[in-house]
Copies of this chain bind each other. A is one copy, B any other.
Amino acid sequence: MDRITGENVFMAVGIRDVARAAGVSPATVSRVLSGTPVDPAMRDAVLKAVETTGYRPNLAARRLRSRHTNTIGLIVADIRNPFFTAVSRTIEDMANRQGMRIILCNTDEDPAKEEAYLGLMEEERVTGVILAPARSTRKRPPRDFPTVLIDRTIPGEVFDCVVLDNISMADALVQHLVQRGHRRIAGLFGAESNTGRERRIGFEEAAARLGIAATSHAVPHADGEAAQVLHGILAGADRPDAIVASNGVMLLTVLRELRVLGLRVPGDIALAGFDNNDWMEFVGDGLTVIEQPVDEIGRTAMTMLAERIAHPENPARKVVLQGRLIVRGSSAAVDAAADMEAQSR
């Protein structure tokens, strides 16, 4: 594999050249560029000199000297997961508006990668980090930068974090399915993340409260293994009449397996889950889901990070956001589903 070696030599124009062209000192140029009050005449001379010389400040030098990097690390599991894509985009927009740079990293749920990236953040001397911790309950060593967790918490550790109200959202999903007449519901949850655990708890509590038969299953993160587990659940004789999937990616895995088995939604089995993607209204009669407030999650994370930076000694805060139940065709009652199919003839 060819390694990138070369380096382009930039225009050699530095702050001293601008100073000379403007007939002022480098310090004055620096002041103009940083907005410090400067005599208007000099200011104009400097700006003109910047223009004519084509000067571009060297951000590496600036960061080294000023000791602030204006950089935020954003570490997620996989940017291809639409939930993280959306949250990242919001965070990048906010950051850019504040003159901050983002370093984006994908852990693929691998604790080793997460560790490596956190190390990288230290070397970058980042202002702060927004982290969706990899599915792992291990303790994180304390870091030298403010950190805000998104999507997932780390049990027993005190970090600022912003998460969904997973328990009550899962509860709402079960309640909805029961209302629609479903009685044998299977829940599919990530085994390792705290978020998966919370959703399972909400799922089981609601089922118990409503007195229905609900079984929850731990689904591995790897796609192949997940399909296998799903097959076991769906192919048996005692197939559930409804499925709850713990997130959007899993929802897709379920759709894939249902297709393999030739099962139809909602005719043969109802389906509901977490995360609302733009395509979900178009599969079948639409997928019933809990929509996460992705924009608000991103905004809140950025705000919390800023406050943590400003007040390092404040106690850690946990912000729990509500989602929104979007009811679509995939959770229709079996009777209603039959009706709809009859009508469509």
Q: Does A345 contact B (CB under 8 A)?
A: yes
A97 to B82: give the CA distance in the assembly, Å.
Answer: 24
A7 adjacent to chain B (CB < 8 Å) = yes
Q: Known A11-B144, A106-B89; judge A309-B59 contact (CB<8 A).
A: no
Which listed segment binds B: A34-42, A60-68, A174-182?
A60-68
Contact pick for A145, options B8, B102, B278, B282, CB 8 Å: B8
Q: Confirm or deny: A17 has a beta carbon within 8 angstroms of a beta carbon on chain B.
A: no
A15 to chain B, nearest CB (A): 12
Stretch at the interface among A120-128, A162-170, A210-218, A230-238: A120-128
Do A100 and B4 touch (CB < 8 A)?
yes
Interface residues of A (CB under 8 A from B): 1-11, 56-61, 63-64, 67-70, 78-80, 82, 85-86, 88-89, 92-93, 96-98, 100-106, 119, 122-125, 127-128, 142, 144-146, 252, 255, 259, 277-284, 303, 305-307, 309-310, 312, 345
- Are the CB atoms of B57 and A123 closer together than 8 Å? yes
Contact B60–A69 (Cβ < 8 Å): yes
Known: A4-B306, A64-B61. A122 touches B10 (CB 8 A): yes
Across the interface, do A60 and B64 meet the contact criterion of CB distance under 8 Å? yes
24 CB < 8 A contacts A-B: A1-B142, A2-B310, A3-B306, A4-B100, A4-B310, A7-B68, A7-B127, A7-B309, A8-B127, A8-B146, A8-B312, A9-B67, A58-B64, A58-B123, A60-B63, A60-B64, A61-B64, A79-B85, A80-B89, A85-B85, A92-B105, A259-B282, A279-B279, A282-B283
**What B residues does A123 contact at CB under 8 A?**
56-59
Measured CB to CB, the nearest residue on chain B to A8 is: B145
Q: Which B residues are in CB contact (< 8 Å) with A70? A: 4
Task: Determine the residue in chain B with the shortest Cβ distance to A97.
Answer: B1
Q: In the complex the two chains form, what is the Cα distance from A305 to B2 in whole Å?
A: 11
Q: Inside 8 A of A125's CB, which chain B residues have their CB?
A: 10-11, 58-60
Q: A61-B64, A345-B345 are in contact. List 12 more A-B contacts (CB 8 A).
A: A2-B307, A4-B98, A4-B128, A4-B305, A6-B127, A6-B312, A8-B145, A56-B119, A58-B64, A60-B60, A60-B69, A79-B85
Tell whether, in the assembled complex, residue A144 and residue B64 are in contact, meaning their CB atoms are under 8 Å apart: no
Chain B residues, CB < 8 A from A1: 97-98, 142, 144, 312
In the bound complex, how far is the Cα of B2 from the Cα of A298, in angstroms?
A: 15
